[in-house]
Structure 1
C-alpha cells in the first residue's frame, strides 16, 4: 500500500485529471442523478478591493460597520460566513457597489460543478423566482410535477428572499489600509433563510434514491437557532428515507455555527442518518481546538456518529478516515482537490480539469497513511494557488469531486493514482 503514503504529487495529479470529465468518472457513475439539498441561494459577488463606497461611509453607519467587520476578517485571513443585522443592507449594497450574481449554496454549487463534468443533479428549490432560475445551469435539474426538469421550464414566482453577499479578497491586494496575506471570501447574509422546503424534491429524491449516485445535504448553518432542532430533525429524516431506499453514499457538509451548542446539536441529530461528514479545517478546529494531527479526532468523531467516512479539507491538504476502500478514498480526495484548484484558477467551474503550472504542492503536515482498527486514514497534498482567480465555492467543488469518485458503481481496488 505504498501508493497511499504519498509520493510525487504533481505526477499523480497529472495522471488523474484526464478521467475527471464526462468521458471519465461521470460516465461510470451509477445510473441515477446526484441528490443535492437543502440550501439554495443567489450569490451576489463583490470584489472587496473595489468597495470604496463601504470604506467611505459615515462612521456608525451600517455600511461602515460592515466594512470594518470585513476588513478585520481579511486582516486575520479569515473567510467563513457571518450574519449581519442591517435590514437595509441588501438594497444599499445593490445601489452602491457592483455585484455579480451566481448560483449559491453548497448543494447547488456542487451540482453546478458536476454538471460541467457531465453528471446530472437535482437540487432542492423553494425560492423559484426569476433571478434564481436564471442562475441555474443546464444539467442542474429541479423537481416539478413528479419529474426532473430544467430551470428554464419552471414558472417563476416573486422574489421574497435577498441574495447572499460574497465579499472576495486576494492576498497582497489592499483592502482599505490592510493587505491580506491569504486569499479568501467572506459570506454575508442579512437574514436566516433556513432550508429550502421543497416537497417535490423530497418526494422525487426519495423515489430516485435507490439508483442515485450519491446524496449531499447541507444548510443548517442558515437556520435560526430557535428552529435548529426542528429543521435538523426534518433534514436528517430525509437522509434516512434515502438510506432506507438503498442510497449508499449520503454526505453532510457541516459548515460553521454561532455556538458550540448548536454545532453539537446538529452532530447529535445526524447520527445514523448519513454515511459521510465533511468540513473545512477551521470547522474541524472548532470541534477540536489545537489539534495538529487529525486522525485520532476524526476516527473518534466517526465512531461517535456511526459514520463510514469523515473528511477535512484545508488550503493545501485534504484528509479522510474511512471504513471503506482507502484507494478509492485517496482518489476521491485528489479528485476533489484537483477540481477545486481548477476552479480557483479559472474563476468558475470547469468542464476540463487541469492543474495550473504555478500550483504549489506542500509537504503534508502529518503522515499520509495509517490504519487503526477498521479505519484507514489517508491524506493528499492539494494543488494550492497563492493568488487564485476566486476562492468562492472551492469547498463545495472539493465535495463535488469527492462524490464524483465515491458515487461510482465500481472501483478497481489497489490501482495506483
Structure 2
C-alpha cells in the first residue's frame, strides 16, 4: 500500500520498467464496436468561430464557449447539417483515429500487445489513420491493417474541440483542459461480419473483450443493436473469455443509457465510465459514497467490476483480486498520463517531473458481499498537450493487465506486493 507522493512515484516508475514485458506476453484484446475518424480542432486556434456572423455558427460557438467556461468536456449531438461543411471552410483541423475500440487497439499495439478491431469502414480515409500492426478480420483470418486494400465510401467524421488550461478560447480563459466531442448525426456502430464471425473462435485464447459506442446509435435502432452486440459478447463469454468490458459514453437521454445498461446484464463482466458519467448516472451522490453506488450497480448488472476514471484518480469496486485491480488501474493511469503529454499513444519512459499525485476520494477497503474498493492516484499534469482519447487509453491499460491476470499473473503480483 502506498500513501505518500514519493511512494506512488516509485510504484509508477517500477511499473514503467515492467510494462514492456507485460505487453510482449499479452494475449489478444477484442475491440469493438464503433469507429470513426476524428477531426481535431484546437479551440485556441479557431478565431473564425468567435467572429462568425452566420447564425448557426454563432450559436454553435456560444455552446462551445459555455462548456469551456464551465470546464465541461463530454459529448454532444448537434442539429446543424451544414456544420461540417462550414467548419471545413473556416477552421483548421487535424485528423486522427477515433472510437473507443480503435483507440484502445491503437494504444495496445503501440505498447506491443495484440489487438483486433471491429471495422467495416475500409476507406482510404480510415485506413490511413490505423497503426500498421492493428489486426482486422478478413474472411476467416486476421490481417494487419497495413496489408488491407482501401475500399468503400468513408463514414462521417466526428469533431473533437480541444481546449487547454491557461490558453485563451476567444475571450474565455479555461481553468481545466478537456475536449468536447461533437456529432452532427448518429453514425451508428460498425457492422463487420468478418469480426463477428471470427472473434468467437479467437475468444478462448484472448485476454479481454471491449465494446462501446452505443451513444452514437440512432434511438430507433438501439434495441436491435443491443441484441446484436450482446449476442456476440455472450458468445465470447461462452467460449471462455472471462473479462468483457463495456465502456460507457455520454448519453444526452438517460433513458437510452439505461436501456444499454439493462441490455448488458449477463453479457459483460466489467463496466467503465468517467467521473462525470457516474455523476449523471447517480446525481447527488457524494464522491465519498461512490464505491457503495458502484457496488450496487455491479450487483444489479451481475458484474465482477465497475470502474470510474477521473482527472486525478481512478477507482474500481471488484469481486476479483484487488492486487491485480490495483496494477490494472495504475497501468491505465500511466499510459493515459503518457499520452496526455506526448499528444498520442506512446510507450511510457518514466513519470514526468511535473506530475503530481492527489489522494483519491475513496480509500481501499472491503465493501461487503465479496466486493472490494481499490483506488489509485494518477500522475496528473495540469497542462497536458492533449486530453483526447485519455479515457480510452486508460481502458486499454487496464485491459492489458486484466487480460494477463490468470493464476500465474495473480501470483506474480502478490509476490511484488
Q: Same fold (TM over 0.5)?
A: yes
* Superposed counterparts of 1:242-261, under 5 Å: 242-261=236-255
Q: Structure 1's 4 and 230: CA in aligned 2 closer, same or farther, altered over 3 A?
A: farther
Query: Could you list the runs of 4 or more consecutive aligned residues of structure 1 that deviate by over 4 angstroms after TM superposition?
Result: 4-7
Contact 1:20 1:353 in 2 (8 A): no
What is the TM-score normalised by the length of structure 1? 0.95
Match of 1:90?
84
Q: Report the structure, 1 or 2, having the larger helix content.
A: 2
Q: Deviations over 1:292-351 (max 9, x none)?
A: 221111110110000011100011010101111000000100110011000001111002
Match of 1:58?
53
Match of 1:115?
109
* Superposed counterparts of 1:231-246, under 5 Å: 231-246=225-240
Match of 1:29?
26
CA separation in 2, counterparts of 1:216 and 1:28? Answer: 19
- 1:280 and 2:304 matched: no
Deviation for aligned residue 1:59:
5.0
Q: Deviations over 1:133-152 (max 9, x none)?
A: 00000221111121111223
Contact 1:122 1:141 in 2 (8 A): yes
Runs of 5+ in structure 2 lacking a partner?
none
- 1:199 and 2:193 matched: yes
CA separation in 2, counterparts of 1:228 and 1:398? Answer: 27
* Superposed counterparts of 1:97-246, under 5 Å: 97-246=91-240
Match of 2:17?
18
CA separation in 1, counterparts of 2:74 and 2:236? Answer: 30
Contact 1:84 1:188 in 2 (8 A): yes
In angstroms, what is the RMSD of aligned CA positions?
Answer: 1.5
* Superposed counterparts of 1:62-73, under 5 Å: 62-73=56-67
Deviation for aligned residue 1:104:
0.4
Contact 1:5 1:369 in 2 (8 A): no
CA separation in 2, counterparts of 1:4 and 1:273? Answer: 35
CA separation in 2, counterparts of 1:152 and 1:401? Answer: 24
Match of 1:384?
380
CA separation in 1, counterparts of 2:10 and 2:209? Answer: 31
Match of 1:44?
39
Contact 2:126 2:154 in 1 (8 A): no
Match of 2:313?
317
CA separation in 2, counterparts of 1:380 and 1:194? Answer: 34
Match of 1:401?
397
Q: Structure 1's 86 and 392: CA in aligned 2 closer, same or farther, altered over 3 A?
A: same
Q: Deviations over 1:112-141 (max 9, x none)?
A: 000011011111111111010000002211
Deviation for aligned residue 1:354:
2.4
* Superposed counterparts of 1:325-344, under 5 Å: 325-344=321-340
Q: How many residues align?
A: 410
Q: Deviations over 1:363-389 (max 9, x none)?
A: 222323334221111000111110000
Contact 1:328 1:405 in 2 (8 A): yes
Q: 2:301 aligns with which of 301, 305, 310?
A: 305
Q: Structure 1's 373 and 5: CA in aligned 2 closer, same or farther, altered over 3 A?
A: farther
Contact 1:339 1:353 in 2 (8 A): no
Contact 2:291 2:362 in 1 (8 A): no
Match of 2:70?
76
Contact 2:308 2:315 in 1 (8 A): yes
What is the TM-score normalised by the length of structure 2? 0.95
CA separation in 2, counterparts of 1:355 and 1:389? Answer: 15
Match of 1:361?
357
